[in-house]
Structure 1
Amino acid sequence: MMDALLRDAEVRAAARFARPDDDPAQTLARVAWSVIAEPGDGVAGALIAQLGAVEALRVALDDSRFALSDRVIGEAQRRWRPRARLRAVEESLRGAKEMGAQLVLPGDPAWPESLDDLDEHAPVLLWVRGDVGRLIMTERVSIVGARAASAYGESVASEFAGDLAASGALIVSGGAYGIDGAAHRAALGVGGGTVAFLAGGVDRAYPAGHQQLFERIQASGAMVSELPCGAAPTKWRFLARNRLIAALGMATVVVEAGWRSGSLNTAGHAASLGRPLGAVPGPVTSAASAGCHRLLREYDARCVTSTAEVRELLGWDARLGGEGAGDGTGGAGRIDPDQIRLLDAMSTRTARSCTELARIAGLSDERVRALLGLLSLDGRVGDDGAGWRLRPG
């Protein structure tokens, strides 16, 4: 695929337009990886780290050059290859050009080095609409929480985000309804910086009701995704997106979250990265705060009730404000990401074959067949002869 990309004049031209000063091979290899691998694919990350993006792509897709017997690599090849299409790479670059999206690669001046803490799960590139300079602001706080937020939760998120942004901090969140939206709006309201990480391409406003908010973020902040333009948001991609929110922030504050809120997934990533983690307490009778109380009780989160305590969490007292979170599933519990990706690829109305499901979900045929067997036993999916469908209910 790599050699074919370099021979294709249209694809090379698109790569040069996206990054005039860069080696087209590096640009195209990174874009190709964003097309064939799901976000956070550790095998892809390890292969790229060892061989570089160009040679790793050749290893992944070119049987004539390499005969890899390693089980992990072989499994990965079987999920990457169904997506390896030249047109998909060209369409990604064309979509970015039409949207005015910029391409940021590791090593670029605008690349946020904190994402490298994710090691092999770091993104292979970032597509950005807006001010790429926001990604490397010195002080960064991730504020996340429930989509179905209460007035109390939105008020606290607005207070925290507005105060911190006014003091020069970048507010990082996920662009969702509820706490995320309140945090973004408050940062914009004081003329501060904010970044929204999306679970689909930067050309897709999701949720649709935040179209105007995203336009405001694009105008004075940044909308960011590791997925190419046109990519649809799915449950698995929301969960994968959460690791970027946690990694970019120097701390994560969960303002309001239910017992199984996706914000707990973001908190788990922050804890695993060694980032300070704060949680806002709520009424003990409020289901909307049960997840925050769970973080305080079970996950060593610090109780934060004011922006002063957020600054204290990070040791920012002398530098900021001195004299002058979701979507996803499962919370902090263990989940099977492959199963989520497969369910995302299925429909109650449209029957799909194992091969088609493997391509959409980014899994191998063998893995899809095994998962379908388990899901069938649970009654969650069924084969009606025309193909596999989700069962209603």
Structure 2
Amino acid sequence: MTPSLKPTHLSFTVVFFTVASPQDWILGSRQMIQSSRTILFLFLLAIVLDKHAIQVSARSLHDNSPDCDCYVTSGRSPAFFEYHRFYDFRDIAGDSVYDHEPANVTNSQSNGDEPGQQGYLNSSTFAKDWKIQTWGHEREGPDYPVTVQNSPQNVFIQRDLLESSTSHLTLRAYRAEDFTSTAELEGLQRNVLHASVRFRARVRGATGVVAGMFTYLNDSQESDIEILTRDPPNHIRYTNQPSVGSDGYDVPGASTELDLPAPIVWSEWVTHRLDWRPQMSSWYADGQWLLDKEYGVPYLPSYLVLNLWSNGGDWSGNMSLGSAAYLDIQWIDMVFNKSGPADGYKLEGIDKFRRNVNFVAKRESHCHRVCAVDDIPAAGFPVLVSQAASTMRKTEWMSMYALGLGLALASTF
């Protein structure tokens, strides 16, 4: 699905002046002053073009492409990231795809050890980045009245017969008699420290279910996109945890509920976006900015989680017996920075790490070849937008800028 683009190229001619003596400078000053305004304009134009993207080529850059040093996002607070991942579930073929969903988990299958779909989800391609969860949680008082059990049988690739026979990843939740059979995927890139993530997703089916797409380390290091099927289809929830204090009351500013801009509804395909920056979390839907949040921004390396669950409590709601709900994912596009080991930071020594996290964020980056991930022809195929920095050091840019500015000022006398 590589987009077909004709590369365009932008070139600059830079003129250097060599002055042999003060006399030479005086003799040539009139000519130099006459052209100074043009020179300054060219220098400033070069700097602006280096800062703002100029499309020069496009190609598939799915996984740490050698053609890109970093990736730039658009939006209210553009940011640069060093790494890129694109997980595309739309064109998976062969035996890895179901034409119809698998059988629901029965009441007797309560251990989470049911066989999963073979093929793609059982391949090293998928398994190197994702793990299907099998843990469960027993019912626990009035706040957790129904047992939850994750099952591999609820995670599968399905052909979408209504959309040109393309495929998508599906997470399913099903209400059996004694428990809710649920689904969760955890990312294995566990050292993500700041990211911009896009999920092309929809939620459908029974009420009483929570669909989550979020970054996670623990209950105080978590940024959420959450959809509750008991809500209207234009209503969504964004949260930085913890959202409940030690006193049992909601933390002001932790969670925000809002309506999606018309005509966006989560029951149809939407590109949900979460930006995690050092001091701010931001949320978007189909490219439209919706919210910034300064409270509870995670500061420790984390990983991605997708889940679909219901415990019958007041928050999730209660599914009807025999009903099912679905979280469908076409693709996930993520640019990110990382810190520490790939399998994640251990929680011991958090205080020490927190003191050093700003140092990690300030490390020098040789970002010479920049690729854009927004406003491009095809999602997941970043576009190379700048190479100018790779041919000239920052000090050289500043020297040329100073020369042009000096000439412009000289022309005023």
TM-score, normalisation: structure 1: 0.28
Decide which structure has the larger Cα Rg and report it.
2
- Structure number with the bigger relative contact order (C-alpha 8 A, sep ≥ 6) is 2
- TM-score (normalised: structure 2): 0.27
Q: From the two aligned structures, give the one with the greater strand fraction.
A: 2
Bigger helix fraction? 1
